[in-house]
Amino acid sequence: MAEGIMKKFYGHRAYVQSAGVMNELEIDGFAVAVCSEIGVELQRHRVRSFDDMQEWGDDISGFDLIVSLSPASQRRALELTSSYHLDVEYWPVLDPSGLGHSREEKLAAYRQARDMIVKRMVDRFGPPSGTRRGRNMSDAMEATRALVTRYYAAFNAGDVEGMIACLSPDVAHHVNEGGLREGHERFRAFCAHMTRCYRESLSDVFVMAHPDGTRAAAEFTVNGTYLATDDGLPEATGQTYVLPAGGFFSVEGGLITRVVTYYNLADWMRQVSE
């Protein structure tokens, strides 16, 4: 992850290679997934060890700095540099490989490790290079647009778990009428209630995102049928309605942390009461 992020952020400012103490492991699929969320492609990365680097012509004496992300790699780096004037820095970073049981728990651990690497990197080397910053920002924007688009595609497919996969565990869900709901379980319960009372699909969905990928907005048309009477609302008799609506999102670490939905309740009331 560190090599891919470094190359993405700083381009040709520095020559970068990564190596492990051993290379018996293949590239980790969870690392590939969480790096893809920030526009870093790892699928073609080849795992290598310190010994492999020397065999392939990347002698350690040709580098100015080694950054170790684990105690084992730090020890190995210090052994290899004992006869060279070479700086070795240790960045304590979470090892996510053995954490979590479910896919979402594992992805959360890998996102935490990725974000720790990013923070260390920016603190040490500064903001991403100006020549690549525009592209980095564009990648972040497109990743957020894709995330919100997946969220609405899951909505239209009736795939509640697909929607939840786009949300952070502590997501803040603000509906048009009613209080704040936080977390996956309350979101899941809300969706169950909506499915009982309404059948809805969205059309003309248009998603916009801030260049840094931290915020997004969408406008769309809600095409619905009122199936069962909701508390405090008119009686349901199968009325249909068409409503313009919008959604607003905050995004962090490749997941939606805030969802806000707006529509004209008075317009909906008029349509189902006619």
Q: What is the mean pLDDT of the chain?
A: 85
Burial of 236 (0-12, 13-18, 19+ CB in 10 A): middle
2-128 and 139-273 in the same fold: no
Q: What's the rounded mean pLDDT across residues 259-267?
A: 94
What span, in angstroms and rounded, lies between the C-alpha atoms of 55 and 213?
41
Fold category of 2-128 in CATH: Rossmann fold (3.40.50)
- Taking a C-beta distance cutoff of 8 angstroms, is the pair 21, 47 a contact? no
In the block, which residue shows the tokens 């970073």? 93
In this prediction, residues 154-175 reach a mean pLDDT of 94
Return the structure tokens found at 125: 């080397």
**pLDDT for 56-105, tens place per residue?**
666 666 778 888 888 887 787 787 777 667 788 888 888 888 888 888 88
Q: Name the β-bridge partners of 209.
A: 216
Which of 227, 201, 222 shows the shortest CA–CA distance to 267? Answer: 222
What is the pTM assigned to this prediction? Answer: 0.53
Domain boundaries, the chain: 2-128, 139-273
Cα angle for residues 125, 211, 150 (degrees, 5° grid): 115
* Fold type of domain 139-273: Nuclear Transport Factor 2; Chain: A, (3.10.450)
pLDDT band at 133 (very low <50, low <70, confident <90, very high): very low
